[in-house]
Amino acid sequence: MQTESMKILIIGSGGREHALAWKIRQSPLVKQVFCAPGNGGIGQDVISVALATHDEIVAFCKKEAIDLVVVGPEIPLVEGLADILAEKNIPVFGPSAKAAQLEGSKGFTKDICRKYNIPTAGYKRFIDADPVATGIKRSFETKYGPSANALAYVKEKGAPIVIKADGLAAGKGVTVAMTEKEASDAVNEIMGGRYGNAGASVVIEDFLEGEEVSFFALTDGREAIEFGSAQDHKRAYDGDKGPNTGGMGTYSPAPIMSDALRRQVMDEIIHPTVRAMAKEGMPYKGVLFAGLMITKSGPKLIEYNVRFGDPETQSLMMRLDSDIVPALLACVHGDLDKVEIRFKSQAALCVVMAAKGYPGDYKKGSVIKGLDAAAGFANVKVFHAGTQLKDGNMTAIGGRALGVTVLADTIQAAQQLAYNAVDAIDWPEGFCRRDIGSKAIREMETL
């Protein structure tokens, strides 16, 4: 284990990376934290550095004698950044490119689930919408089996049904179709090239009914330990209306996750996945973010992400009571069984503030004021995402700009505190949902 002189580099520019940087900086093991490229607000906690390529990251790590790299986003992991760093003997938290297929290819994950009996929705994979019209390369057919007509399958199964582009599509490419027409349109959109290579194949899944939960675990390739739960709000507007987004807010812990249910998820989903990946010759090291549906017949895996969630991480870091750095290092070095994770018993809640128009077109460059007033509330932290400090003003340059995150004794108290802090921020060009956590509050009132 390193002593009190560690230098850590975080890769990414979102609210997730700001939250990780804020928590990592609190570790007594750490001397200095860098973030590449960072954002307008992260510099209040750590040092932002402009590194654009994998080669620049490696050179910086060598120059600064970086002791650990924490990769935030999924794209660098799928592209193999962890492999490149490991080859240069630079410790890195995050899975290899092969292991990152758990997020990089939805079909890969579904196939793993089928092979190792991990509970998930029934599915089929298709490599085009109309094989007769477009023609299919024989090598691809040999690898994945005979091609079938995705549109005919939609008609056979009916709606509701879920249509997914196989690869990374920037949080898009997934349609929960409530009608056959909506499903067919989604297939045609994916296969028509809207998502580029991400739509080279399509996964069509049975519709699952239940409550969605974000569940996190850390793994060193052999052992796995739970790392908390949260519930996200994907729709843009109150009452779960409007288009899907990257996430408009979260609360943690997820009230539905009883001790028994948490154990069941670890026993039936997380541990079997870790064993499966090791058996497949691609051991998984890092954080496993399982998107779950809690159905009447038990928890089922919707999808895996190979990194911390955003904005779930903001809530998790507010609740985390133990030093995160030993846990990150244990995942890298293979001694996770020696680590204990502790979370505060309190609830955390994050309200995302976004530019008006998000997730569609939105104006860039508007000035955000009142951040000091919001941060002046006790147990409040404003994490930055799409912001830039320009001429002394904090400006919004991304869709999701801020994550106003709080800690309180209950979700209800956290909600009130969060919106008090939100109301202190002066940003006419921004908006937020006003009902983050309301569902949990209603559910707890009925207990």
CATH superfamily of 211-446: ATP-grasp fold, B domain (3.30.470.20)
Q: Which residues contact 410 (CB under 8 A, 6 or more apart)?
A: 347
- 369 contacts 427 by C-beta, under 8 angstroms: yes
Residues listed for the chain = 447
Element (H, E) at 302: strand 298-305
Q: 52 φ, ψ to 5°? A: -105, -25
Contact (CB, 8 A) for 401 and 350: no
Cis peptide before 28 (omega within 30 of 0): no
Count the Cβ atoms, other than its own, within 10 Å of residue 229.
25
One-letter amino acid of 2: Q
**d(Cα 304, Cα 109) in Å, to the nearest integer?**
7
Cβ of 67: how many Cβ atoms within 10 Å? 20
CA distances (Å), 6 to each of 26, 43, 68, 314, 329, in order? 12, 19, 8, 23, 11
- Range(s) for CATH 3.40.50.20 in the chain? 6-93
Both tokens assigned to 118: 């991990």
H or E stretch at 10: strand 6-12
The phi, psi pair for 66, rounded to 5°, reads -70, 130
What single DSSP character describes residue 317? H
CATH number of 122-206: 3.30.1490.20
Residue spans in the chain of domains classed CATH 3.30.470.20: 211-446
Cα–Cα distance measured from residue 103 to residue 77, given in angstroms and rounded to the nearest whole number: 10
Q: With a cut of 70, which residues of the chain have pLDDT below it?
A: 1-3, 128-148, 446-447
Q: Give the closest residue to 351 by CA, choosing from 292, 423, 253.
A: 423
The answer to whether the CB of 110 falls within 8 A of the CB of 194 is no
Three-state SS at 239: coil
Architecture, CATH, for domain 6-93: 3-Layer(aba) Sandwich (3.40)
Q: Closest by alpha carbon to 150, among 122, 129, 127, 120?
A: 129
Structure tokens at 393: 């003003």
Closest by CA to 232, choosing from 210, 217, 254, is 254
pLDDT given at position 128: 57
CA atoms of 109 and 164, how far apart (whole Å): 13
One-letter amino acid at 294 equals I
Q: How far out from the chain centre does Cα 275 lie?
A: 22
Q: Which residues touch 348 (CB under 8 Å, ≥6 apart)?
A: 251, 252, 314, 315, 316, 318, 319, 405, 406, 407, 414
Contact 385, 400 (CB under 8 A): yes
Q: Are 417 and 377 in contact (CB under 8 A)?
A: yes
Q: What is the pTM of this model?
A: 0.93
The encoded tokens of residue 265 equal: 């998820």
Q: 232 pairs with which residues across the strands?
A: 250
Q: What is the pLDDT at residue 150?
A: 86
**Within the chain, which residue ranges are assigned CATH 3.30.1490.20?**
122-206
* Crossing angle between the packed helical segments 324-333 and 15-25, to the nearest 10 degrees: 100
